[in-house]
Chain A
């Protein structure tokens, strides 16, 4: 049985002042191998907590995570992470960063170099191989981060707002790249984002999470990711279904934010 299954996941922790936070409550999700899931939600809805649990950095208070038939207990090379930024190793060159995973495993140098060369070709950074990562622009750094993650050939790729810090133009290019990589490699991807458009464009499936307690509010199946693999993303945005979907989700998140604000005012 392949794929990722999340069963009744709950996360509750105590604060020093005696209160407790229900970061996640009864989150269940089935993800088939090769699916691309995007996760949206207002801040505080537990989406990063969810990702950290899947990555194995946090242990849930209850519930079960099963990937390809075995339970997730901690971080592992089968689940790669792409962070927003600043997670590259600035003391290593681009080549060394991309080759980090294979090096840790002790992959023979020839195989490793081959993988690195191939991936740098894919992300278009072959000419920047020997550069220090801090010499690259923000977009290029995220390409390195993608390549580094892929070099390990993980089953699942977890992305925590990987394009959040990029400017609008670079972001569009990177969105196409993510789609291309997804199609070419067939990886299962969970993508957390703040941008409704990005979630719609990239997510084959999309879940909107709600806060207090963190839970899945609504789930969608979307056609745009498949369309975007071959077409210009700006064309995809003209799809008749795209606008209404965006409005619907924006309103949904807007209402949640309002509720949080209102609740705060009542409390005060």
Chain B
């Protein structure tokens, strides 16, 4: 698995127990920076999470609705509790998003693959949020439920137990 993080940081921000706890225990995912353009990575992740039966809430001040869901200009405007704040923003914009996530009492913040802001991550941890960084929510979900396995990818999951490949 590729990442910019050190081994200690991986253990802190990409730990499989943590990732599975978030994926299993969450229903509502606010996606900050979700694009309405079909070819963008955020659109792929959003549509995937929606098809995997999560409630997705697009956060994009420039749009009315994306992927059939109403858009909100910022996290504070969302009228329902949010479990995970999934971030598609430049690293230098993550601190503000994390502060908003703390303010709305989100349970977790998730910075997508290639997005690393260590200060923002530490701040979220200090406020009791779970934090994943430099991982893709679609890829991680696909690793544990077997979807990525169908594509020939190395999920690194090894067991001789009879189990369904679900999280």
**Is chain B a partner of chain A in the same complex?**
no
